[in-house]
Amino acid sequence: MLELQRTIAKPVSISGIGLHTGAECTMTFKPAPANSGIRFVRTDLGGNPEIPALAEFVVDVSRGTTLGIGDAKVHTVEHVLAAVVGLQIDNIIIEIDGIEPPIGDGSAKLYVEKLLEAGFTTQDEPKDYLIIDKTVMYHNEEKQIDIVALPLDGFRITVMVDYQNPALGSQHTGLFDLEKEFVDEFAPCRTFAFLSEVEMLADQGLIKGGNLDNAVVIVDHKLSQTELDKLSEKLGLKTKITVGPSGFLNDKSLRFKNEPVRHKLLDMLGDLALIGAPLKAQILAARPGHFANVEFAKKIRQLYHQKRLEKKYQHIKKEGVVFDTNAIMRILPHRYPFLLVDKIIHLELDKKVIGIKSVTVNEPFFQGHFPGQPVMPGVLIIEAMAQTGGILMLNSYFDPSSKLVYFMGINNAKFRKPVLPGDQLTLEAELVAKKSKVVVIRGKAYVGNNLVAEADLTAAVIDRETKPGETKND
């Protein structure tokens, strides 16, 4: 696998029609600086809005993957993205003067050929690999979809499909070396659809740019020649549609015996580009589709954010510790005697965080609460839960050091057992709701397995004011 980032050496352009819209457009690939990622630019719209190719900007997955910000959208981006990541390009600007890229022959071949024509430039920055070090799973019971990422010092992807159709059957494929296999064995694999899907899409006014030269159509039910002629007319095809013994319209010959599942792998490569970083992992996928691919990409991207934050604040890796005290003080503004969480041992961004507070007899509050019978004040247990929850919230923002958390309300607070010197508090905080800059967190505090306190906390995240001579990163 490559060690340094790369972009293309010169701009190249492609023109053609989109699969669903049938609209003409020109798409131009341009070099981009290191660490800038993959970006689409709608040059036909005022201000040339940019749309980063990231999972959080996916707005539709019904008939392909659509990216959008506000009114600016780009449909059916998966084949373009597959070409980019399949060639291990990290940084590129994709200008497009329409809403949908040219479909070409329904594969990624057209884009790959153009990008190879552009050539590559190696950049000075190292590739920002996301190393999967534990199993990540996605499961959809209703559609029987499973996608798993496993640890691997490299990248492999294996895909299986089973549509219970005699013309397609059960198929599987695997890509084990991007440099050796992608261009010749996966980029040329065309999109496919069942005849029933084509009829439905035609009735909906979609696939206006579809024809038998940019898709393989699998016959999943019988149609008379009269019905086929009507479908051909509806699609605006110049060629006559026929059904032969192969099980494909017009007896279309496949480029590979398992071309359909290879195309599914191609789609998945494109959708996984939305993670925003190349992977070191083994991906296993059963019956994937765009919705599942994007949901899985979002899950992996969340892990990517978390690992970047851990690396940013936790300078020395420690077994069983996400953030130690020094890291916590880089995130939170609290200091002695009011920093009430010692370490973070578990973090799921935007979901849950677990912190530890060791309660010693040296705590300053024990001098007055109470002399001769020291008990940790309940309000400070709440504060410890709040600080733990503050880490969960602040890590949802790009620059936590520029934010402060102000708590607005405490509800359903209950204190079940006293906390004494020598106890160790395990502080759990779960995100219940998040709206704009106001969040609700459910906090619980345990000593051992015993719940000692709980409360629902409402807080606002605001910008931190800087003092004269101070920057927000101080």
Known active-site residue 290: yes
CB atoms within 10 A of CB 241: 21
For residue 243, give both structure tokens.
């059904």
> What distance in Å separates the CA atoms of residue 73 and residue 80, rounded to the nearest whole number?
15
For residue 252, give both structure tokens.
């279309």
Question: Residue 411 pairs with which residues in a beta bridge?
Answer: 456
User: Residue 231 is inside which H or E element, if any?
Assistant: helix 225-235
Angle of CA points 76, 81, 83, to nearest 5° = 120
Closest CA to 156 of 7, 265, 53, 260: 265
Closest CA to 150 of 273, 280, 274: 280
> What distance in Å separates the CA atoms of residue 226 and residue 240, rounded to the nearest whole number?
11
Distances (CA, A) of 439 to 187, 407, 442, 454: 45, 9, 10, 17
Handedness of CA 454, 459, 463, 469 (dihedral sign): negative
Handedness of CA 271, 277, 278, 279 (dihedral sign): negative
For residue 14, give both structure tokens.
């492609």
Closest CA to 193 of 175, 179, 211: 211
Q: Is 304 exposed, middle or buried (0-12, 13-18, 19+ CB in 10 A)?
A: buried
Write down the catalytic residue from 172, 305, 334, 369.
Answer: 369
User: Residue 328 is inside which H or E element, if any?
Assistant: helix 325-331
Question: Residue 218 pairs with which residues in a beta bridge?
Answer: 194, 248
For residue 95, give both structure tokens.
């200008």
User: Residue 270 is inside which H or E element, if any?
Assistant: helix 259-272
Within 13 Å of residue 59, how many CA atoms lie on the same side as its CB?
A: 13
User: Residue 161 is inside which H or E element, if any?
Assistant: strand 155-162
> What distance in Å separates the CA atoms of residue 9 and residue 1, rounded to the nearest whole number?
20
Find tokens 């071949």 and name the residue.
Answer: 109
For residue 140, give both structure tokens.
């959809």
Write down the catalytic residue from 290, 305, 315, 346.
Answer: 290
Known active-site residue 263: no
Catalytically active residues are 290, 369
